[in-house]
Structures are given as structure tokens and as C-alpha cells.
Amino acid sequence: MSKENEEGINFDDFLLKSEQVFEPEIEEEEEEVVEEEPEETKEEVVEEEGKEETTETEEVSLDNLSDDVKALYEKAQEDIDSLTEEEQKVLEDNNLFESEDNEDGGEASVTPLIELIHEENGWDFDAEKFKGKDKVSDLMDFVGDVIEQNSVPEFASDEVKEFNDFVAKHGADKAADFLSVSYGNTDYESMDMTNEGAQKKVYSDYLKKTTKFSDAKIDKEINKLVDLDELEGEVEEAKTYLVEDAKKQKEDFLAKEAEAKESNAANFTKYLGEQKDRIDSSKEIAGFELSDKDKKGLYKFAFETDKQGKTGYQKLKESDADLDLKLLLLAYKGVDKNKISKSATTETVKKLKKNLSRFKDSKSGGGTGVKSPKKANPNADINYNDFILK
């Protein structure tokens, strides 16, 4: 090849350019032909939509309504959730509220469901009772009332319920007192006043309550009324007094117990406050320094109760039958931090002395009088484990 040819060759012509090699062929996209609707058709659609809106608007007529109702309706258009129940009622009465709720997908009526619940349980449905209560919240209130009513225990009589309520409130230790004041006295109200014996009993008790007459004088007064045939006339007033007096005794008893319970609760709250102050103000107890965490934990352990009404200390007492004896022994010994530290130090010193004594005996040959042979390493017989305080 001649030199001229070499100089005339352009090697760049042999370079493969990426856009030339890999560039895909561009396919011409076919333009979608959108058929335009005739102008007349578009105008007809717009006119029809306008007619529908006009028709919907014309369904609600405000011409015959007062200005207050019109203003209320405009308020509902802006923010229906801001309406009060009274305002909703006004719109309902003018047929302006229910139709709009239904069109906007408002809350469905729950009255049929409430009525069905009555039917399934065999209850009489009182439509007047549920008038205006047609929301989901009203249904929830109704269901809550049903649950609460069914959870109330049934008692054989009002007297049994009263006794149960008293014991639940004041405790079983007061049950005997309640029974005594309620039923320990004569039931004057149910006594047959046509019976002469009952008449004498009532009038005798009446005189004992209202006078300081002796039993002999009371008997004399009663016999005199019997002879004069006047006892039956006097006994009605006496019976009324005794019935009212018995009721007053019971009321006074219940009031006294309620007052005592309230006072005990106040005293206990005061006691807890005092104990918390004692713990919070203590820098140390029995020689042990207390951090804020310790103070909080100690109070909680001693005085705060769990769901079962028990403190951590009470649960510990139940799990350890000898806990009281252990605490008594510690109190008897007067144990505190200093004594515990002193006792631990004494035991450590004794152990150390014992180990040193054993080391000394092994160095002297165990006290046999025989001289031990000299060893290459004079310290090889030392057991350093003896100095470890276990």
C-alpha cells in the first residue's frame, strides 16, 4: 500500500456510533381521530344538565316559609353538622331536613332495628317513647340501657335488696346491727289492732317510750282503759307513734353509718398522706440511705392497692406465714445497717484468722517437732486459696 493511500485513509470512518447501530426505527404513530360532536348536541347536553339542576333546586320551595326558617335552611346548606337538635326539628317540620339527608346518604333510621329487638324479646314497643330518637347514638343508648337493666341482680324482696346494699356499702361486720334495728323490734305496722292483747302490747310500749312510768303503773293505766272501754280508741295514736319511731331509729342508724364511713375514709386519706410525708422526708431508714426511687417504691409497696384491693406488703404476708415472726425477731434484735455491717466484718475477720492460723501450722510442720526438709521453692507449699474470703 502506498504512502499516499495510507495518508488518505480516515480511521474514524470505521468507528461504530451507538446511535447508528442501536437506534430503533421510529414508527409513525397514527393519530386518533376524535369525532367531534356536533355543536347542536353539546348545547343540548348543557341545556339538559341545566334543566336537571334547575329541577332539583325547584324541588325545595322557600316562598311560603318565614325568614327564620329560610335563614336556618341556608345555614344547613353551608354546614349541616352545626345544626342543633331544635334547629333540625324545625327543618324536619317544614320538610327541609329529611329529604336532603336521604339524598346525601345521611344516617338511616334505627327505629326499625329497635322495634325488632323489642319483638324478638317479646317486649311491647312504645313508639312515643322513641319518637325523635332515630340516630345511631340513640340506638347505642337503648342497647346500653338494656345491658344495664339485665345486669341488675334480682332479689326476693325489697327488704333483701336493702340488706344486700347495706352490707356491700358498710361491710358484713355491720350486718347484725342492721338486722337488729330493722327487724329486732316489734312490727307494729302489721299488728291486728282488733285483738285486745295486741292493743295492750302497743299501748304498753307506747307508755314506756313516752313516760317514766313503772311497769306496775303502766299495767294499772291499761287496766283502767280496758274497764272504761277506751283502750281501742287510745291505741291508734300509740301505734302511729311507734311506727314512726321505728322508722326514725332506722334512718338515724343508716345516717350514722354513712357519716362514720365518710369520716373513716377521710381519716384514712389523711393517714396515707402522713405516711407518704414521713417516707419522703426521711434521708435514711435503719441506716440505709433512700433514693427518690426507693421512697416511691416503699410507699407503693406498703400502701397502694392493686385491682384485688391488696398492697404488695399484704400479698407478701399471705405468701409467707412466718413473716410476722421474722419481723418481730429483727425488731427484737434491733437490727440496723450498722449491726449488719459489724456482724459481717466480725465473720470476715474470724475466717481470715482461721486461714492464717492454718498457714502458720503448715509452715511449722504441723506441730510434730520434726524439722521439715528444705525445698527448692520455699513458697511452694502456700495455698493462696486460703486467703479467698468466700
The alpha carbon of residue 283 and the mean position of all alpha carbons in its chain are separated, in whole angstroms, by 35
Q: Where does residue 79 fall: left (phi above 0), alpha (psi -120 to 50 degrees), or beta otherwise?
A: beta
For residues 116 and 88, the answer to whether their CB atoms sit within 8 Å is: no
pLDDT at residue 323 tops 50: yes
* Mean local confidence (pLDDT), 262-267: 92
- Sequence ranges of the domains in the chain: 63-151, 158-250, 337-367+379-387
The alpha carbon of residue 323 and the mean position of all alpha carbons in its chain are separated, in whole angstroms, by 33
Share of the chain above pLDDT 70, in %: 66
Q: What is the pLDDT of residue 35?
A: 52
Cα(337)–Cα(343) distance, integer angstroms: 10
For residues 91 and 75, the answer to whether their CB atoms sit within 8 Å is: no
Confidence of residue 56 (pLDDT cuts 50, 70, 90): very low
| Average pLDDT, rounded, for the chain | 75
Q: What is the pLDDT of residue 340?
A: 65
Q: Render pLDDT for 172-224 as a digit per residue (tens, 0 to 9).
A: 888 888 888 877 778 888 888 888 899 899 999 999 989 999 999 999 999 99
- Residue 9 C-alpha cell reads as 485513509
Predicted TM-score (pTM) of this structure: 0.43
Q: Which residues contact 180 (CB under 8 A, 6 or more apart)?
A: none
Cα(387)–Cα(240) distance, integer angstroms: 95
Confidence of residue 66 (pLDDT cuts 50, 70, 90): confident
Q: Render pLDDT for 35-55 as a digit per residue (tens, 0 to 9).
A: 555 555 555 544 555 444 444
pLDDT at residue 355 tops 80: no
Q: Render pLDDT for 276-321 as a digit per residue (tens, 0 to 9).
A: 999 999 988 888 888 999 999 999 999 999 888 899 999 999 999 9
Task: Return the bridge partners of 311, or none.
Answer: 305
Confidence of residue 103 (pLDDT cuts 50, 70, 90): very low
